[in-house]
Structure 1
Amino acid sequence: MRILMVEDAEDLAEGVMAHLARSGMACDLAPSIEDARDARRVQRYDAVILDINLPDGSGLGLLREMRAGADRTPVLMLTALASVEDRIEALDQGADDYLGKPFDQRELEARLRALVRREAERKQEQIVLGALAYAPGPRSATLSGRPLELTRREAALLDVLMRHQGQYLSKTRLYDSLYSFDDADVGVNAIELYIARLRKKVSGSDVGIQTLRGVGYRIGLND
């Protein structure tokens, strides 16, 4: 799961990012609306944490841009403005949820997971490929009816592969889906390790992960 946090309070943002990282969520930080626009141009996010009062304007303006462009990425508004009127305005503009400052990190995480799960369930309850069935909401999978034991990274990688089944995805594309911009200590070749683990877990079934040298990986039915 990859999150974009649009927040100019550095200490607050660092605390949130560290907590989400421990929970297996990659989180990129944009301290301004323009930075958020730049991040969204090059990366797709599962959810956005959006402050209202930002150095270069109101976060509600960015929210309106997203909804006007038919972008349904779940948005959690995060702000010190906690009056009923503020909450109503944010929700009317297309926000999915609202959390006032100060807040508990555990509640923020729970709300994010609920938003992402709700959006995934809205799109599709289950993705099926042969004997493999994947549920985007809880990020769980079964193979021939038996649950697959997946780590957070393995589940995140399977999520991307299943959503693009039949398509070759580059190592860089897969890496960007699993790690934030700040995970500089993790090399792109780590993807090979997770691919190998997933291959082992689906081996013996009618599903396989193919490699096209110089292009990438795809999941599909075995010939």
Structure 2
Amino acid sequence: MKFTDKKAILFDLDGTLIDSAPDLALAINHMLTSIGREEISPAIIRSWVGNGASILVQRGLSGQTEIDPDLDPALLEKSLAIFLDFYAKNLCVDTVTYPNVVSSLQALKEKGYQLAIVTNKPYDFIQPILDGLSMNGLFSLLVGGDTLEKRKPDPLPLHFACEQLSVTVDDCVMVGDSKNDILAANAAKMQSIGLTYGYNYGEDINEHGPDVSFDDFANIVNALSDAKQ
């Protein structure tokens, strides 16, 4: 599939542009040991990533994907603070970009697209990670999970991005690895590209109806090759 007449591309961050799961796992296990809990396998924590920091911490405290409804609010507040403080100081220890991400983003920017990040990750972490992974200067807009009152899979962040970039929904494509990205795009009536790697809770991204899906980030450049004509 080709995407024509596009002006802007919205990208998820974790699981789409970067593999941040190792550092998120490091921060979750630091939080757990700080409150006297056992560490959890990084592979399990990886399966919990994608819904923002608070949900990740709640899953860590619950020890499973399904959040314990009886979590102590005071413990959650304390644990979230421990997690956020540690993670802020360890954003790029083992976090890396996925293959072909930086070169493809550069190619898309050179073609004249506006590039934006729309993530559920807290806003304050986005720019330091981009700086640490040599992706600074590529994006016109950064939207975090706490930028607005709602986050993906709600369409509000996508509509907000369109407004900020002065483009329409039809001018944009949403790119992500998670059902949250595709469901948000569907709700916004925006075309989407799903990526089969990343963090999608063990589900096939195609189950949620992206317009197309790719195994390799570089395929996005080809899919958008005629979009500026």
Q: Which has the higher contact order (CA 8 A, sep 6+)?
A: 2
TM-score by length of 2: 0.32
TM-score by length of 1: 0.33
Higher strand share: 1
Please tell me whether Structure 1 or Structure 2 has the larger radius of gyration of its CA atoms.
Answer: 1
